Amino acid sequence: MIQDPKLQDDTRIARERLARHLADLHRLHLVLAEDSRALKTFTTAGQPLTEIELASELLEQYLAASNAFLENMRGRYEARLALLRRGEPAQGQAQGLRREDAPGHGAFWLAFSRLCAVLRRAARAAET
């Protein structure tokens, strides 16, 4: 599918921003993992209850924040599915082509199916 240069630049910028945020999130995960490993000093100092309480708090808060974010994103995109679906390429119908013969039809439905599959995975993750 040919896009205008401005749209290509906007797409590239959005993809780079998301990648940067995900890299920041990964770095934060590494810091949390390192801090959680440091909690064993409480047990070696004879205070295993402190380690248990801190580990429980860390995991509960992390799960709550992650689930809230995931549920928010899932709800946002599930609400947009109908609008996104209406964006199916229909070029060529004026020349008598069937909708499925329009340029970009296959790529569109592959991407749409991928989004639907990810949303189903997010829903299952929220249920557990």
**Whether the predicted pLDDT of 6 surpasses 70:** yes
* Tokens at 121, concatenated: 């995975």
Return d(Cα 60, Cα 109) in angstroms, integer: 38
The pTM (predicted TM-score) of the whole model is 0.77
Tokens of 125: 């993750």
**9-23, 70-84, 96-110: which range is least confident on average?**
96-110
The rounded percent of the chain whose pLDDT value lies above 70 is 89
Return the H-helix or E-strand segment holding 56.
helix 48-85
Residue 8 near residue 14, CB atoms below 8 Å: no
Locate the DSSP E strands across the chain.
none
Is pLDDT of 102 > 80? no
Dihedral in degrees, nearest 10, Cα atoms 112, 118, 123, 125: 180
- Residues 49-94 pLDDT 10s: 999 999 999 999 999 999 999 999 999 999 999 999 888 776 655 5
**Residue 2 reports pLDDT greater than 80:** no
Mean pLDDT in residue range 12-17: 97
What is the pLDDT at residue 69? 94
Mean pLDDT of the chain: 90
CA–CA distance, 87 with 102 (Å, rounded to integer): 12
pLDDT of residue 105: 81
